[in-house]
Amino acid sequence: MIKLTKKMIYVSIIIVLLIIVLFSLMSMSRPISVRASLSTISPSEMVNSLTVRGTVESTDKYNVFTSLSFLTKEIMVEVGDKVDEGEVLCQLDTEDLRMNIEQLKADLDVTQLNNLRQYEDSKDVYEEAKALLAKNKNGSVLTAQTNMESAKATLDDAKRQYDDLKEDYAKDNNYDVETTRIKLDQAQKDYDDAVADLNLNRDPDVMAAENTLKSAAVDLEKKESTYNSNKILYHNGVISRDEFERSEADYLDSLINYEDAAEKLETARKEQMQDLYQLENDLEKARTDYENALKEQDRALEEAKLTLDSAQTAYDTAVASYDSAVETANQELNRHKTGLDEAEIALNNDSVLINIARLEKQLEDSTIKSPAPGTVTEVYAKEGSEATGMLFIVEDTESLKVVSTVKEYDYSKLKVGMEVIIRLDSTDDYEYEGILSKIDPAAVKDDAGESTGADVEFGITIDIKSTDTQLRIGMSTRLEIVLEKKSDVYYVPYDAVRDNENGESSIFVAYSVEQGVYGIRQIFVNVGMSNDFHTEISSNELSSGMTIINDPSVIMNELEKLNINPSSIGGLRFRFI
């Protein structure tokens, strides 16, 4: 039997421990398969909105009805017809009514006839004057308005020209001023450079002439020295006559060259001074041109100001004339009203005349007219049937709105002016812009005039900003009211954010370790705006393109099943399926 020593026991324990550690490491290095949803984040626009349903309506809807009980004789329009204000929609049968009126008139005496005619004439004059004024067709008022609008256009044009000149003046943006200023700066630079060349003697032509003169002087001095020496040698018989004459000729040529170089230097200096004088003249001319441009700018601005003042005076005069014409027209209307009232007083003193006036009012009302321009959207009248109650609906099909309701708990979230996205209920092919224009101050009431109960709602109105839409009266829509909107923010699915016991929020980011295998790390974040699906997050550790675990609880549950402490998640590897 083998006796175990302490050393052998220790070695055995170490081996067992190594096997356990190795097994643990192998387990940790083996990827854990888990079914988890991933998403990639990048800075984007995040919107928190409220979605409700709405109905398209006309901004101008007119219910045309009658309180008369006559039969409908003739209908002039059908659904879809466009009508003008005052256009006849239908005519009621008034044959019996006319006969009654004629019979009553036939029984009148002369005084009654005169009173009735006076009333009818006064009423016609008053109604015509009232209609002309209401439709802005009164001759004097219309002329005054035309003059006022013309004066306003002239004023706007004068103001625009003055403001443009003033802005150019402030920004040194006048073309002539800027051009002459550039020329002045260039002329000043050319002149300063020329003066510097003169003072520093760096004019290239003068410098070349001076160098030529210096070379000629050196050559002359040398040739003169040789000539004087040969002259002595020749008189002493040391050199020949030919050699002496050659040195003399060289001397004379050198002298001529020197004199020519001196003359050229003098010419170069004169030309330099002439150029300087010319540059000085050019500078003075450029300065004069610039000053003249400034003066012209000031003159143009002053002239534009005078034109603006004159246009303002003309406009003020035109406004006063318009106000006077309106006042005169109202005074004239009041005079006609007074005449009508007086005729009506005379009429009201006779019960027969009162009855005739009442019947004639019914006769007038039996011609059913459109109260405004628009499109006939409903026709309830039927020829041969009694025309009591609603007869037509006329709506402006070009000017539309969307009406809806919101629940009581959403009411406080809304503000007038919020952006609204309008979609057709039947398709997502079209999307239009709208704006929340009205929030009703009181809850919608039921037929009994009550607004109590669990489903308290408030009416809202959305103006449609988009043009040339597919929206039509009566269509159902889905409205997305933008409560809050942020640009260039990170956001993740609502369940991607986890909070710990300290109230700290975090997300889990997956990063690739090898093909199909990921590691996970935790990033603590600040939480911002939230909507029904997403939560805004921010952190210095976030970057575009990060892969986020959409619901970390799935991974935590899987670790719990495997008896793995979630705190060790940073050292684990995962394969997402």
- Which is nearest to 518 in space by CA: 465, 569, 553? 569
Strand, helix or coil for residue 84: coil
- Which is nearest to 435 in space by CA: 490, 482, 399? 482
Q: Round to whole Å and give the CA distance between 49 and 483.
A: 5
Q: Round to whole Å and give the CA distance between 56 and 404.
A: 9
Strand, helix or coil for residue 54: strand
Three-point CA angle 87, 89, 94, nearest 5°: 110
- Check: CB of residue 394 under 8 Å from CB of residue 370: yes
Question: Which residues on adjacent β-strands are paired with residue 523?
Answer: 507
> Side-chain half-sphere of 552: how many Cα atoms within 13 Å?
21
Q: How many other β-carbons are positioned within 10 Å of the β-carbon of residue 183? A: 18
DSSP state of 109: -
0.75 exceeded by pTM: no
Locate tokens 């059913």: which residue? 368
Question: Which residues on adjacent β-strands are paired with residue 90?
Answer: 75, 368
Q: Round to whole Å and give the CA distance between 425 and 420.
A: 15
Q: How many other β-carbons are positioned within 10 Å of the β-carbon of residue 58? A: 20
- Check: CB of residue 260 under 8 Å from CB of residue 215: no
| 88-92 β-sheet, strand order | 72-75, 88-92, 367-369
Structure tokens, 322: 């318009």
pLDDT at residue 524, as a whole number: 93
Locate tokens 């005619």: which residue? 117
Locate tokens 């979609």: which residue? 423
- Which is nearest to 455 in space by CA: 463, 443, 468? 443
Let me know if domain 49-59+396-485 sits in CATH 3.40.50.10710: no
Handedness of CA 123, 125, 130, 131 (dihedral sign): positive
pLDDT at residue 382, as a whole number: 92
Which CATH code is given to the segment(s) 64-92+367-395?
2.40.50.100
Are β-strands 476-493 and 44-58 bridged in parallel, bridged antiparallel, or unpaired?
antiparallel
Q: Round to whole Å and give the CA distance between 488 and 544.
A: 11
What residues contact 368, with CB distance under 8 A and at least 6 apart? 64, 66, 88, 89, 90, 91, 92, 381, 387, 391, 392
Residue 546 corresponds to which amino acid? Answer: M
Q: What is the secondary structure of 274-302 as a DSSP string?
A: HHHHHHHHHHHHHHHHHHHHHHHHHHHHH
Q: What is the secondary structure of 380-443 as a DSSP string?
A: ---TTSB--EEEEEEE-SSSEEEEEEEEHHHHTT--TT-EEEEEESS-SS-EEEEEEEEEEEEE
Cβ-count burial of 391 within 10 angstroms (0-12 exposed, 13-18 middle, 19+ buried)? buried
Q: Round to whole Å and give the CA distance between 288 and 296.
A: 12
CA-atom Rg of the chain in angstroms:
51
pLDDT at residue 40, as a whole number: 92
What residues contact 547, with CB distance under 8 A and at least 6 apart? 38, 39, 40, 509, 510, 511, 518
Strand, helix or coil for residue 312: helix
pLDDT at residue 125, as a whole number: 78
pLDDT at residue 27, as a whole number: 47
Residue 410 corresponds to which amino acid? Answer: D
- Check: CB of residue 476 under 8 Å from CB of residue 426: yes
User: What's the distance, Cα to Cα, between the start and end of the chain in Å?
Assistant: 55
pLDDT at residue 134, as a whole number: 67
pLDDT digit string (tens) for the chain, length 577 residues = 445 566 666 666 776 666 554 444 444 457 888 888 899 999 999 998 899 999 999 999 999 999 888 999 999 999 999 999 889 999 999 888 888 888 877 766 566 667 667 777 777 777 777 777 666 667 787 888 888 889 999 999 989 988 888 887 777 777 888 888 889 899 899 988 888 888 888 888 888 988 998 999 999 999 999 999 988 898 888 888 899 889 899 989 999 999 998 999 899 889 888 988 998 899 899 999 988 988 888 888 889 889 999 999 999 999 998 888 888 888 887 887 777 777 666 666 667 667 777 888 888 889 999 999 999 999 999 999 988 889 999 999 888 999 999 998 899 999 999 999 999 887 777 889 999 999 999 888 876 666 666 678 999 999 999 988 889 998 999 999 999 989 999 999 989 999 888 889 999 999 888 888 888 888 999 999 988 889 999 999 999 999 999 998 888 888 888 787 777 777 788 888 7
Q: How far is CA 164 from CA 167, 174, 291, in A?
A: 5, 10, 21
Structure tokens, 510: 């997956």
Structure tokens, 360: 């004639």
Strand, helix or coil for residue 225: helix
pLDDT at residue 272, as a whole number: 85
pLDDT at residue 139, as a whole number: 76
Question: Class assignment of domain 30-45+489-576?
Answer: mainly beta
pLDDT at residue 26, as a whole number: 46
Let me know if domain 173-325 sits in CATH 1.20.120: no
* Boundaries of every domain in the chain: 30-45+489-576, 49-59+396-485, 64-92+367-395, 173-325
